[in-house]
Chains A and B, each alone.
Chain A
Amino acid sequence: MTAQHWTDLLVLGAGPAGASAALAAAEHGMDVVLLDEAADAGGQVFRAPPKSFVVANGKRIDPDFHIGASLRDRLAASRVRKVFERRVWFVAPGFKVSTFGPEGLEFWTAKSVVVASGTYERVVPMPGWTLPGVIGLGAATILLKSQQALPGETTVVAGCGPLVAAVAVGILKAGGKVGAVIDAASPGDWARALPSMAVRPDLLLRGLGWVGRIRLAGVPLLFRHAVVEVRGGDSVTEIMARPVDNQWRPRWDVPARAFQCDALAIGHGLVPAVELTRLLGAEHEFAAERGGWVPKVDEDCRTSEPCLYAAGDCTGISGAAPALLQGRLAGLTAALDDDRMAPEAFAQETSALRRKLQRARTFGAASARLMTPSPGLLDTVTPDTVVCRCEDVTRREIEAAFEAGAADLNQVKAWTRCGMGPCQGRMCGDTAAALAALRLGGREAVGPWTARTPIRPVPMETLIGEYDYEDIPKPAPARR
């Protein structure tokens, strides 16, 4: 029998935003279920190491290790029901959610829901990017922080935004070799971000320390360059880099530089994961500087749907520090709307929180801007480059669909199968939409893919459970 659970508040995602929301709502007497795919809370930034790993000095792994550890300690001491290793594959309005995991298929019903689904990575494709050995910058971070593993023997680190330097330094600290650091931004782009980043001098200094460390290690550091090709047979052996212009268009007139490597960690910012808020009917808007399509939320984290709240990077890329604060705000709002808190107490408890959030967001917005790729980078997607990894759809095929009259993103999907594979367009969606926007005049005109269930691939045997052919009611054969 499939398990059915009921709760006041269901929090989807146990990263900084979701964990804080769950703690805040539980403090005010709500029954809270906190769901996540991982084995413990923390999300990607504060990801817990495997339980069997012994961590002697967390600070050596990550200066913010203690934030994640304290979040997990507070959750352990709280009344929040922590339900991990569950993949949400289905959500419906009225708040019915289905998961699969160690207990098989489960159904959850809740009065209110906080969505804190975080982000996934944007990688603007280039020839050869599907080769094994190419991983995202976020993936490299998980390898280094949670798994204590290096991406390869020699890793080239490339892309844009603060993660480039962070990953390169993480590899160096772990004793690995970095073949080159290739940043699409110029030192000037970084300098322009400095005033906003100065609200967090600690993080700013950490960032400057990264650049010093890369230089000190003698690693080639290429600003305003992009990886234009990945080469190798069964896996990466070499990458080619070219300078880019101020729109990040590769300069094909300048000779490319080759770097030998067995791994490439590359990323071009983050995209908010909004399939849950979209399936739950919330209104969304396009905000390029915050990563893409995001749910519209009011200053208390309410979406356009009653009793549906959203917090953290799924409402716009801003980072883990604001997510901790915004999550708490969402949890308190859920408690207020459920009459667990007096409006005066809510106002009092949130006023300092809002000030802190404002400050944290200034830094977050500056790093989000550094992560946003300039449109010229799309030129690395040559006609024969695979855009949709799942279905092997090339840019040429996508462009052919536009030539044939495709008028929005969903038509491109139907005609080419781009975005129809098991990742459901999460890896190619942003690129396909950016290519469409070049033709159709902007991302709003292009629209997003239609969000569809299943949200994650779910094995058929999980769905049907013990149900067998013998269990199907079969009418007696008609008599002749």
Chain B
Amino acid sequence: MEIRVDGRRISAFAGESLAVALAAEGILHLRASPQAGTPRGMFCMMGVCQECVIRVDGRAVNACQEPVRDGMTVISGTLK
């Protein structure tokens, strides 16, 4: 299946987590830290640390907890 990330099309396996699909494409920088704005990426993989918060189809989600869906639109690195 295919998802759209920052305007780019990337392929992904059905059911895998969005964080993993992005990492496979070398997209590690998922959010900016709220105060200093430094790059952050997936860290705990269990929906606790909130470091992988990302915008998917307009919603803020934990990339590690979000299974990829065909055609989902993802914007990385903008949420805090």
Contacts and interface: CB of A to CB of B under 8 A. Distances in A.
Interface string B39-78: 1111111111111010000011000110100000000000
A51 B47 CA distance: 19
Contacts of B30: 132
Contacts of A147: 16-17, 20
Given A50-B67, A52-B15, 17 more contacts: A37-B65, A50-B14, A52-B13, A53-B16, A132-B30, A138-B46, A139-B43, A139-B44, A139-B45, A139-B46, A147-B20, A149-B20, A234-B28, A392-B34, A392-B35, A427-B43, A459-B59
Contacts of B48: 120, 423, 426-427
B23 interface: yes
A456 interface: yes
Contacts of B14: 50, 52
Binding site of B, secondary structure by majority: helix, strand, loop or mixed?
loop
A456 B46 CA distance: 12
A219 to B, nearest CB: 22
Contacts of A300: none
B33 interface: yes
Nearest to A85: B65
Given A421-B50, A459-B59, A235 B35 contact: no
Contacts of B41: 131-133, 235
A333 interface: no
B49 to A, nearest CB: 5
22 contacts: A50-B17, A52-B13, A52-B15, A53-B16, A120-B48, A132-B29, A132-B39, A132-B40, A132-B42, A134-B43, A135-B42, A135-B44, A138-B45, A147-B17, A235-B28, A389-B49, A392-B33, A392-B35, A423-B50, A426-B48, A427-B48, A459-B59
Contacts of A390: 33-34, 50
Contacts of A154: none
Contacts of A421: 34, 50
Nearest to B53: A422
A189 B70 CA distance: 49
A130 B44 CA distance: 12
Contact of A427 (B28, B39, B49, B65): B49
Contact of A422 (B38, B50, B59): B50
B10 interface: no
Contacts of A135: 42-45
A238 B67 CA distance: 30
Contact of A50 (B16, B35, B43, B44): B16
Contacts of B51: 389, 423
Given A50-B15, A132-B30, A389-B51, A142 B46 contact: yes
A392 B29 contact: no
B61 to A, nearest CB: 9
Q: Closest 4 A-B residue pairs measured CB to CB? A: A132-B41, A50-B15, A52-B15, A139-B45
Interface of A: 37, 39, 44, 49-53, 87, 120-121, 130-136, 138-139, 142-143, 147, 149, 234-235, 386, 389-392, 421-423, 426-427, 456-457, 459
Nearest to B28: A132
Contact of A130 (B24, B40, B46): B40
Contact of B49 (A39, A49, A133, A423): A423
B79 to A, nearest CB: 10
B39 A44 contact: no
Contacts of A457: 50
Contacts of B15: 49-53
A50 B45 CA distance: 14
A273 to B, nearest CB: 8
A391 B43 contact: no
A44 B65 CA distance: 13
Contacts of B49: 389, 423, 426-427
A39 B36 CA distance: 34
A427 B42 CA distance: 13
